[in-house]
Every structure is written in C-alpha cells, then in structure tokens.
Amino acid sequence: MRVAVLAGMDTSPELVDLTPSLGIAIRERVPLGELPAFFGAAFAELGRIGGPHMAGPPFAIYHAFAEDAIDVSAAMPVRTKLAATGRAVPIELAGGPAVQVEHVGPYEELTATYGAIEKWIAEHHRARAGAPREIYMTMPTEPASQQVTVVVQPLVQP
C-alpha cells in the first residue's frame, strides 16, 4: 500500500538496494525547451518496440547537463534483452545501493528533490555511482499537482 503524500511534497530520502535490470533506451543531446517533445516521441517509440516485454514505468537517465542542452536517455524497463531497433538500444542497469525520493507535484519543482538528495549524500558521506534517474509513475496528462516522479541516484558501494 502506498502512503499518500501531499502535492508539492517529497518523501524523505531513503537508501534502497537496486536490482540489476534490463531496458531499452534512446539517448540524445536535447535542447532544454525540446525535452517534453523528445520524451513524448521517444517513449512512444520505446512502447511500440518493447510492447509485451515492458516491465515497469518509463524513466529518464540524465547523463550530463550543459547550459543549452541535456544529454539524456528516455528508457523503458524490459523483462528480456531486446535487440537494437532504430534509435532504441538495449541497456543494462547495475544493481546496488541508491538514494531515492518520491516527488509529488510538477516536474518544475524537482530541483528541491535533487537538493534533498545532494544533502543526504553529503550528510551520509556517500558518493554517486553514475547518472541520476527519474521514474515517471504517472502519465504526464495527470494534473501537475498529482504527478509522481521517483528520483533515484545510484551510489558507490561503501
């Protein structure tokens, strides 16, 4: 059972153990203003390719940020390794420790969520192991106040 969280509020950062998993992804360097269009097209394409093999909600991996663009992957978890198809390539996500926060509210308010993760990492003397992920638990058509995004930052083993 999921505990209800008030809109615009985050759960507290929590340490979790990620299970290794498979996915398919489309990676591009996307100008900031074009991110919603990129995700819309990429997730639709991944959904067609993954079909019955999909194993959960879509997610993004944020590889690098520049002033004018973001190096990002739109991804879908899958139950079995799929072959590369068009722009979509298979990916493998490592297991291990991570810190995560469930954010309820508009995507534009995720900056505070990332700040909470950074603070937790510093306070617990941990180090990042790879790029952060955003798992989209609700459809973007949901009202902004009801959107649920789980932000996951993999960590180096202690």
For residue 156, pLDDT beyond 50:
yes
Distances (CA, A) of 119 to 105, 137, 157: 20, 24, 18
Last residue of a domain, one of 93, 117, 140: 93
Number of domains the chain contains: 2
The pTM (predicted TM-score) of the whole model is 0.91
pLDDT (tens digit per residue) in 39-89:
999 999 999 999 999 999 999 999 999 999 999 999 999 999 999 999 999
Tell me: do 115 and 143 sit in the same domain. Answer: yes
Band of residue 2 on the pLDDT scale cut at 50, 70, 90: very low
pLDDT (tens digit per residue) in 93-144:
999 999 999 999 998 899 999 999 999 999 999 999 999 999 999 988 899 9
Tell me: do 48 and 99 sit in the same domain. Answer: no
* Enclosing domain of residue 114: 1-20+95-158
Tell me: do 15 and 25 sit in the same domain. Answer: no
Tell me: do 58 and 14 sit in the same domain. Answer: no
CA distance 75 to 57: 9
Cβ proximity of 98 and 18 under 8 Å: yes
Cβ proximity of 106 and 75 under 8 Å: no
Last residue of a domain, one of 39, 66, 93: 93
